[in-house]
Amino acid sequence: QVQLVESGGGLVQAGDSLRLSCAASGLTFSSYGMGWFRQAPGKERESVAAISWNFASEYYADSVKGRFTISRDNAKNTVYLQMNGLKSEDTAVYYCAADHFGVGAKMSYQYEHWGQGTQVTVSS
């Protein structure tokens, strides 16, 4: 059974940093592309960042470029999202997802497995 468990969310002030983690089990993590998505109240889920299985490809939404960094540790079956310079508009539930094609896709429909999410709240 595939499990993705996010952690690291919380309440921070604008300008602060957070690092989200997503621990994966029940899959061959090193062959999966991994992505981070977020959903704010009343809005659709949007892609934030993604990374391919072999670290060769990364994707970032324009809204987070230069502030967020995605990384992965295949030895620990974990993907991370380092978030710096947080803004109030980054407030959302953040989800990690796994894509068995390994590409680190941008679209949510390309991901088969999802975590339960972790809340990030940025106060201004």
Q: Whole-angstrom Cα distance, residue 42 to residue 29?
A: 32
Q: Which amino acid is at 96?
A: C
Distances 115 to 24, 49, 67, 94, 97 between C-alpha atoms, Å: 9, 15, 23, 9, 6
Contact 123, 13 (CB under 8 A): yes
Q: Whole-angstrom Cα distance, residue 53 to residue 65?
A: 20
Q: What is the model's pLDDT at position 85?
A: 98
**What tens digit of pLDDT does each residue of 53-91 get?**
999 999 999 999 999 999 999 999 999 999 999 999 999
Q: Which residues pair with 12 in a beta bridge?
A: 122
**What tens digit of pLDDT does each residue of 10-49 get?**
999 999 999 999 999 999 999 999 999 999 999 999 999 9
